A = this chain, B = another copy of it.
């Protein structure tokens, strides 16, 4: 159940300027277009400014520049989105899980589950697992001999293999697979020889991992995800990859083995990284880019081709092909 706060209290708590009645109360968030009585909205991008004059929100988080156009109360701040994030967290607190192991869950004799932890229906906790205080293991999860740090929450049906260490306050969404074998094979006379993947996975604190994302265990040393990293859905992290603190990566990106990504990078969706690369701190990579060489300097990098009409595209491709052919002769 969302909370209910007066604008005066919110202004005080989050250090923002209130233009309006401090007694007004908000209990939900809403978009400018759909907000009504009791709703808090925000305007962070001036692109959406035209929605402001008509909103029926009780209050709107806005910059000083936009405040005059606000028809109701305005909470004025230089960072409407950041303050929105913090107020929304207050209004929608994560429901506290009831501690205890669901009767249908299977906890092996050699596993350690903190009394304050919650293990959902049908979950399987194998021998050697260490489930720390206030951890939530969602329904249908399978956790091997891994350590899940204090306050971390696993959604439904997450698989955690042996040798994975997850830090504190992490969130892992449904279907994620942490610690499956990396893709390592040596060519042999009768086919591929599997190279045992004997490393683990080390994940820092405050990491979020999206639905159906896969993080492979290391071949020898660990695959490493540092504190505060945010991974979207369906990302593939190869063996011995390292991702620096506070880097955020959008959905469907794939990172090949042993590539090291720096800190505070912003990686777009469906980006592909070749293996054994080093990417500096503070690098931005736009969506659908192929990163096939190391990036030594901060900055923005791209290679995704923007769509055009298929007919025009055929001409561009023909141009490139003629060029290649010309060179060949």
Contact = CB atoms under 8 A, between A and B. Distances in A.
Interface of A: 29-31, 34, 79, 81-82, 84-86, 88-89, 91-92, 102, 104, 106, 120-122, 124, 126, 138-140, 142, 144, 155-157, 159, 161, 171, 173-175, 177, 180-181, 183-188, 191-196, 198, 206, 208, 210-212, 214, 216, 220-221, 227-228, 230, 232-234, 236, 238, 245-246, 248, 250-252, 254, 256, 269-270, 272, 274, 284-293, 295, 299-317, 319-321, 323-325, 327-328
A320 B321 contact: no
Given A34-B221, A246-B192, A315-B324, A161 B174 contact: yes
Nearest to A79: B186
A303 B301 contact: no
Copies in the complex: 3
Given A124-B156, A175-B177, A180-B210, 15 more contacts: A82-B188, A85-B188, A104-B104, A180-B211, A191-B206, A191-B228, A192-B228, A192-B248, A211-B214, A256-B287, A270-B270, A287-B292, A293-B307, A301-B307, A308-B324
A291 B313 CA distance: 13
A125 B127 CA distance: 23
A116 B236 CA distance: 34
B313 A302 contact: yes
A180 B316 CA distance: 38
A30 B221 CA distance: 7
Nearest to A305: B303
A45 to B, nearest CB: 9
A230 B184 CA distance: 10
Nearest to A325: B312
List the 8 closest A-B pairs by CB distance, nearest first: A142-B156, A159-B174, A191-B228, A300-B310, A180-B211, A303-B305, A302-B313, A177-B211
B252 A198 contact: no
B269 A252 contact: no
Given A85-B194, A252-B252, A233 B206 contact: no
Given A180-B211, A301-B307, A230 B185 contact: yes
B309 A316 contact: no
Nearest to A285: B307
Contacts of A29: 196, 198, 220
B177 A174 contact: yes
A185 to B, nearest CB: 6
B85 A193 contact: yes
Centre residue among A256, A284, A300 by max chain B CB count within 10 A: A256
A173 to B, nearest CB: 4
A183 B304 contact: no
Given A180-B155, A198-B92, A324 B313 contact: yes
A325 B308 CA distance: 11
Given A122-B124, A177-B173, A313-B302, A195 B319 contact: no
B310 A301 contact: yes
A295 B310 CA distance: 13
Given A212-B175, A256-B250, A124 B124 contact: no
Contact of A175 (B159, B196, B220, B328): B159
